[in-house]
Amino acid sequence: MIEIKNLSKRFKSERGTFHALKNINLKIKQNELLVIQGESGSGKSTLLNIIASIMKPTSGEVLIDGENIVSFSDIHASEYRKKRVGFITQSFHLFDELTLHDNLLAPLVIRDLTREEIEEHIQKALTTANISHKATQRVKSLSGGEKQRSIIARAIVNNPDIIICDEPTANLDHKNALLFLETLKLLKADGKTIILSTHDSLFKHQEFIDRVISLEEGSIG
């Protein structure tokens, strides 16, 4: 489903050129749950942002079902993210003054869906993320763990087939991190392809994880 070929990313600064990614080659199967481990600065977030078409590489290709997303225009990249990618981060980026329900409504109103279909999407996302009981509360009143589950719900409300998670448990306590693991199991059972970056030891030896790779200084170890 996802094939990364000879992918590199360089950044320029006053101190010279920094190689964030160096000739990455990687294949990710449909419905695979891939964990990418590595220290801060190893290139994990850069790789995820390129797969999500948020960032362009310096060279190389990212093929999604044979289509090279690196060549997408800004409009085409936006459509790809909207329809196919759910992004779960450690930062919340929610509308604090809106209810959780209305936060999930925002990405759906621009789609050609009936009111019933919109509610079905919202309820499924809330249930999967284990946050249905907070649907009518304003986001600003939610706890940190509840906000993280809200981020998950918003990421999956469009029913994307690719879920990208960037250090999703970094700000969670152990209890909420375990809840996140249960949500990952549900997403995998629902047929999603999941790519997750972390340095959290919680993800070691989890049976439902298909593969773990390491990034070290921009290269696959």
Domains, the chain: 2-220 (3.40.50.300)
Q: Does residue 196 contact residue 36 with C-beta atoms inside 8 Å?
A: yes
pTM reported for the whole predicted model: 0.92
Q: Stretch 35-42: mean pLDDT, rounded?
A: 91
Instruction: Provide the angle, in degrees to the nearest 10, between the axes of the packed helices 144-156 and 174-189.
Output: 10
Distance CA 218, CA 21 (A): 4
Structure tokens that stand for 116 in this block: 């019933």
CA angle 20–25–26, rounded 5-degree value: 110
Query: What pLDDT, on the 0 to 100 scale, is given for residue 59?
Result: 97
Query: What pLDDT, on the 0 to 100 scale, is given for residue 31?
Result: 97
What's the pLDDT tens digit per position in 115-143? 999 999 999 999 999 999 999 999 999 99
Q: Stretch 208-218: mean pLDDT, rounded?
A: 95
Nearest 10 degrees: Cα torsion 35, 40, 44, 49:
130
Q: Which residue has the higher pLDDT, 189 or 201?
A: 189
Q: Is the pLDDT of residue 91 over 80?
A: no
Q: Is the pLDDT of residue 58 over 90?
A: yes
| Distances 106 to 74, 84, 85, 94 between C-alpha atoms, Å | 21, 17, 16, 11
Which residue in the block uniquely carries the two structure tokens 């800004």?
Answer: 74
Which residue in the block uniquely carries the two structure tokens 């000739």?
Answer: 23
DSSP assignment of 30-51, as one string?
TT-EEEEE--TTSSHHHHHHHH
Structure tokens that stand for 189 in this block: 């059972």
Residue 173's pLDDT band (cuts 50, 70, 90) = confident
Distance CA 4, CA 47 (A): 10
Query: What pLDDT, on the 0 to 100 scale, is given for residue 186?
Result: 93
